[in-house]
């Protein structure tokens, strides 16, 4: 498989002969204040042919209407049911609901399984019925990738991988995990997000062959710079036992991961 970091939570996943784009956001800024600090790793009009879009939740940094307007609308756009219904009402006819515990097949071999993240993903303060946030596990007979969207670290964050892969005595190939940073005066951050150290702890629990961190280096935030999270993760990795298996790639770079050797 090949994974290209486009920026923030936008990743191009090429697996089992299909291409999937996650949480597409090519905006130059979020709102009026939060500027983009690095260009998208692949320009929107330079993307290869896509087979599906995966949307985790409705927050503006993950759901960009402007980006969706410029992306193909003849491929499925998978999203939590309440978000998919909202998109359908807005005219995005390719919006397709996929709920916790459901699965779909893209192409001939790629199966996408859905789990529920611990994150309040509603767009505005009043629309709590749109708060569901998905996680996705993509797998074929040869490879697998877990895309966590946004989530906190909980005793059950690994449940989707356990249900699908561990039940078949299979190992997860790669964990795609978001990292963030918030100052000490914002203690509620970890109720819905992973710090770099949380991501490393989840990586260990998932027992994956590799980890790729995202959600950094793209937008300036109100309480942190775009690089605070990755700077702290790099510092932690300096002495971490798993440092050789954590792949930090810049926007525009790709990671190629071959299938695990069969025993």
Q: Where are the domains positioned within the chain?
A: 2-256
What average pLDDT does range 8-12 have in this prediction? 98
**Residues 11/4, Cβ–Cβ less than 8 Å:** yes
In whole angstroms, give the CA distance from residue 251 to residue 60.
19
In whole angstroms, give the CA distance from residue 56 to residue 208.
21
- Mean pLDDT for the chain overall: 95
pLDDT tens digits, one per residue of 50-84: 999 999 999 999 999 999 999 999 999 999 999 99
Instruction: Determine the pLDDT at residue 263.
Output: 45
Question: Residue 16: which pLDDT band, with cuts at 50, 70 and 90?
Answer: very high
> Picking from 23-32, 145-154, 198-207, which range would have the lowest pLDDT averaged per residue?
23-32
Pick the CATH number of 2-256 from 3.40.50.970, 3.10.20.30, 3.60.15.10, 3.30.1360.70: 3.60.15.10
pLDDT tens digits, one per residue of 20-38: 999 999 999 987 778 899 9
In whole angstroms, give the CA distance from residue 206 to residue 144.
12
**Residues 89/95, Cβ–Cβ less than 8 Å:** no
Query: Over 60: is that where the pLDDT of 210 sits?
Result: yes
Residue 55: which of 128, 129, 109, 112 has the closest Cα? 112
What average pLDDT does range 157-180 have in this prediction? 97
CA distance to 33, 138, 158, 181, 185, per residue, from 234 (Å):
27, 27, 23, 13, 23
Percent of the chain exceeding pLDDT 70 equals: 99
Query: Over 90: is that where the pLDDT of 41 sits?
Result: yes
What average pLDDT does range 153-163 have in this prediction? 98
Q: What is the DSSP letter of 23?
A: S
In whole angstroms, give the CA distance from residue 112 to residue 138.
5
Instruction: Classify 50 as helix, strand or coil.
Output: coil
In whole angstroms, give the CA distance from residue 181 to residue 201.
15
Residue 47: which of 14, 12, 95, 18 has the closest Cα? 12
Helix 228-237 / helix 196-206 crossing angle, nearest 10 deg? 50
Residue 144: which of 208, 194, 101, 204 has the closest Cα? 208
Question: Residue 262: which pLDDT band, with cuts at 50, 70 and 90?
Answer: low
CA distance to 63, 80, 175, per residue, from 57 (Å):
7, 7, 19
**Residues 112/104, Cβ–Cβ less than 8 Å:** yes
């Amino acid at each position: 498989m090949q994974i290209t970091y486009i920026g923030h939570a936008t990743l191009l996943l090429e697996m089992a002969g299909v291409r999937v784009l996650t949480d597409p956001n090519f905006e130059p800024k979020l709102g009026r204040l939060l500027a983009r600090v690095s260009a998208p790793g692949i320009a929107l009009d330079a993307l290869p042919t896509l087979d599906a879009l995966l949307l985790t939740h409705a927050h503006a940094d993950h759901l960009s209407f402007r980006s969706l307007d410029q992306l193909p609308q003849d491929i499925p756009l998978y999203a939590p049911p309440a978000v998919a219904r909202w998109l359908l009402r807005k005219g995005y006819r390719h919006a397709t609901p996929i709920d916790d515990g459901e699965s779909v097949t893209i192409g001939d071999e790629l199966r996408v399984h859905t789990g529920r993240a611990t994150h309040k993903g509603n767009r505005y303060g009043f629309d709590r019925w749109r708060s569901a946030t998905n996680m996705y596990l993509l797998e074929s007979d040869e490879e697998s990738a877990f895309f966590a969207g946004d989530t906190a670290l909980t005793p059950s964050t690994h449940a989707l991988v356990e249900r699908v892969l561990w039940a078949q005595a299979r190992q997860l190939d790669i964990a795609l995990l978001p990292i963030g940073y918030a100052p000490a005066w914002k203690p509620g951050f970890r109720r819905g997000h992973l710090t770099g150290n949380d991501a490393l702890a989840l990586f260990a629990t998932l027992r994956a062959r590799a980890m790729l961190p995202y959600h950094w280096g793209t937008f300036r935030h109100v309480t942190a710079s775009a690089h605070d999270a990755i700077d702290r993760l790099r510092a932690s990795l300096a002495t971490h036992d798993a440092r050789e298996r954590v792949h930090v790639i810049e926007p525009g770079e790709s990671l190629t991961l071959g299938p695990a050797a069969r025993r």
